[in-house]
Amino acid sequence: MVYEGPGRVEVHDIDYPTYDLKDGPGVNKANIGRKVRHGAILKTVTTNICGSDQHMVRGRTTAPEGLVLGHEITGEVVDVGPDVEYVKVGDVCSVPFNIACGRCRNCKEGKTGICLNVNPDRPGSAYGYVDMGGWVGGQAEYVLVPYADWNLLRFPDRDQALEKILDLTMLSDIFPTGYHGCVSAGVTTGSTVYVAGAGPVGLAAATSAYLLGAAVVIVGDLNEERLAQARSFGCETVNVAQGDPVEQVRQILGHDAPAIGEPLVDAAVDAVGFEARGHGQNAQTEMPATVLNSLMTMTRAGGAIGIPGLYVTGDPGGVDEAAKEGSLSLRLGLGWAKSHSFVTGQCPVMKYNRNLMMAILHDRVQIAKNVNATPISLDQAPRGYQEFDQGAARKYVIDPHGVVGKRAA
């Protein structure tokens, strides 16, 4: 699945992966010729379309044309490099979207989202993503995973994994990302939580909030179909097209809400990011700081805001010159006055994926159902991108080899 310019993705034939990096769209020159003896080649079982992919496909990043997309990958190991010790051919594994070496200071501290050794451009890397070193994406039949012993999460039982593959495929990104947003926001037993955005990451965050023991989870969005999906597993919802979410949240909380003018929720999660739109009459107007400012307004003093939503340093379609370089008009003084904590950046997937895997395998959570996982073939992926961009309340799961389809049949 290849990005061909704003609004266009196409299925192309590409070379089979090898254990050395070649030149190509987005590949940093320092990575060309890099040996990956520590890598493994995976036959892709599932690979998902992500909202972060959509930012690139809309032309809202500096992604080069020809980039092979896909950072949400689950696959079967079909070959291993000569330096791989523990991963074996036949293992079915989840691939964290963060590419990490396991050797640098940040990796050793568990900060795998900002590995120092895999991307010459900046700390942090991912498959098939702009400014992430040029590692080939996984929306393909096969993919190379570097540092395989470190990066791959092996499922303990192959048959069980394939039976639950639509749930387990969410471990590569959105489930840990939503969970990280909630953990960063301090969600715990009895918390009242507001999640901005009812796309797949927002729904994963809402699911995670319940898993962490939240008493009330409120999800806000402009898309009524996506809000209905949030309600399907017990969330309260607000349609921000109908006005400021603060008053709507107050009405939901009822007698539990503080007095007028006081904060509303214990914790908040921004699952929208830099393409945020306004509220009420401004619902069709792009206002990239809207979500963050509203979350500061509605979060209690001393509370925290998790920000798994994507913010970028380069946005050709930004609403003004400041937005084009990621500079937003934040009410930082409000957040400072309320002693808010903010956590941003890539989720360090490896911090959470094993425990979330266990929650799935032991039926503690139904993440695929909650995000409305919808399998499609690789040939159907361009249509999936189009429908997702139009607001479909689905998480599209690409099934390149028909594994999901065969099991469903």
| Nearest Cα to Cα of residue 362 among 164, 96, 158, 92 | 164
Distance (Å, whole) CA 194 – CA 217? 6
Distance (Å, whole) CA 107 – CA 376? 34
Domain with CATH 3.40.50.720 in the chain: 175-343
Arch. (CATH architecture) of 2-173+348-408: Alpha-Beta Complex (3.90)
Rg, Å, the chain Cα set: 20
Contact 306, 182 (CB under 8 A): yes
Residues 6 or more apart whose CB falls under 8 angstroms from that of 45 comprise: 74, 75, 76, 92, 162, 165, 169, 399, 401, 403, 404
144-186 per-position pLDDT tens digit: 999 999 999 999 999 999 999 999 999 999 999 999 999 999 9
| Confidence at residue 409, expressed as pLDDT on a 0 to 100 scale | 59
Contact 47, 76 (CB under 8 A): no
Both ends of the chain: CA-CA distance in Å? 25
82-117 per-position pLDDT tens digit: 999 999 999 999 999 999 999 999 999 999 999 999
| Confidence at residue 254, expressed as pLDDT on a 0 to 100 scale | 81
Domain with CATH 3.90.180.10 in the chain: 2-173+348-408
Given the structure tokens 């074996």, which residue do they identify? 88
| Confidence at residue 35, expressed as pLDDT on a 0 to 100 scale | 95
Distance (Å, whole) CA 368 – CA 364? 12
Fold (topology level) of 175-343: Rossmann fold (3.40.50)
Cα–Cα distances (Å) from 58 to 9, 51, 88, 308, 381, in that order, read 10, 11, 39, 20, 15
- Segments in the chain below pLDDT 70: 255-263, 408-409
Distance (Å, whole) CA 290 – CA 280? 12
